[in-house]
A = this chain, B = another copy of it.
Amino acid sequence: MRGFSPRISALRESPTRKIDELRERLKRENRDVILLSTGQPSIPPPREVREVMRELLKIDSMELYGYTPSQGIYEVRQAISEDLKRLGGLDIPPEQIVLTAGGQAAMFSTLATLLEPGDEVVVTDPTYFGYRPLIEYFGATVKPVRTTLENGFQPEPEVLKSAIGRRTKAVILVSPDNPTGRVLREDIAKAIADLARDYDFWIITDEAYKTLIYEGHHVYIYKFAPEHTISINTFSKDPAIPGWRLGYVYGPPEVIPKIKLMNEEMVYCPPSFAQRLVSIYLRSEVRMKYIREVVEIYRHKRDIAVSALRRYVPEARFIVPSGSMFIFVDLSRYIYDGEEFAKKLLEKYGVAVVPGSYFSGIYRAAVRISFVTETPERIEEGIRRIGEAVTTGLEKP
């Protein structure tokens, strides 16, 4: 009998994809939209690196086009190993790294490897909306633990501990955080690592934004619990090849071969052209210079966004993000429903943001603003329009 898997019916269109579609429609209607919704970088990979790729495309052989090992090309994993050493002082041999078709495939394959029906996965609230559908697809349930604006969205180990039970398979942490921009404090990372050892659960740490830090430094929780930590990474943000789909997972030696097998079944091997670019990039002289320049540009844009929020939306509540690409803005002094607000903001004011309810069961009168994609002028103008929208009684009855 024809028909479909009942599991597939649990899947829903990604909420940002819904915004993308509305945006596409406005584009077709020739309406200009200010994009404060997407986490897409605004600066392409370094020109020097692209030049090398251009030379490679001249060569008449299959070298650049052929299949690669399903774990990824060894030299690329070596380059990543060196990069993790340079960035965080980590000692991760290439054998403990598996390349994947982007951060999404890294998370999908990791959860596929770990989860079984009945498992519980602890996530913070707010957190990235992409985890819940995956957790539920694999038959596990989501257990959110509250973090608060007042506490800088730092997870509180005692609160987290109270959510841990017999069925807790994993805790997912994101730092720098999406959507709040919070950078995990070292003492908290240590406390969570202790919990992971005491209660024997996996820490899945999403480090997509690890090189986008504006104040402080990125804490590699793997250092504090190497046997319990699986790290999800992407090259979508650094060096800005989101469409090319390349990411990686590093973790304990017994986990990586399993995640590799899962990726082999899903996509056979990670995209090779992206692997070559990343290998050249990570070992090039411009690697640290490029990311420092990118961070300076994004920091400037963040400051523009923060000033504009204080000026145009003075009752907005948020933490100034120490990392990532986002500000999570609580508008509860103006509006009731972030989803309704975001929709009207896009239709009437031509500004795209992501509603807070996509990230949180608590902060439902909030929106996530990305400060990297648009120019400083357009970021300011977008936030000015948000200020106009919240004060013209768009929402408040």
State the A residues within 8 Å of B (CB). Answer: 1-8, 11-14, 17, 20, 38, 40-45, 47, 50, 53-54, 57-58, 60-62, 64-70, 101-105, 108, 112-116, 133-134, 137-138, 166, 168-169, 200-202, 228, 240-245, 258, 261-262, 264-274
Contact = CB atoms under 8 A, between A and B. Distances in A.
Given A244-B65, A271-B245, A3 B169 contact: yes
A265 B108 contact: yes
B60 A57 contact: no
Contacts of A271: 101, 243-245, 271, 273-274
B116 A5 contact: yes
B2 A240 contact: no
Contact of A8 (B60, B101, B112, B134): B112
A11 B261 contact: yes
A105 B201 CA distance: 30
A261 B133 CA distance: 11
Interface of A is mostly: loop
A6 B267 contact: no
A162 to B, nearest CB: 18
Nearest to A239: B65
Copies of this chain: 2
A243 B67 contact: yes
Contacts of A115: 5
A277 to B, nearest CB: 9
Contacts of A103: 268
A8 B113 contact: yes
B4 A258 contact: yes
A263 B181 CA distance: 28
A13 B261 contact: yes
A320 to B, nearest CB: 26
B228 A2 contact: yes
Nearest to A243: B272
Contact of A202 (B2, B58, B169, B267): B2
Contacts of A13: 261, 264
A58 B54 contact: yes
A102 B267 contact: yes
In the complex, the 10 A-B pairs of residues with the closest C-beta atoms, listed nearest first: A243-B272, A104-B268, A11-B261, A101-B267, A54-B54, A50-B57, A5-B116, A271-B271, A245-B271, A105-B267
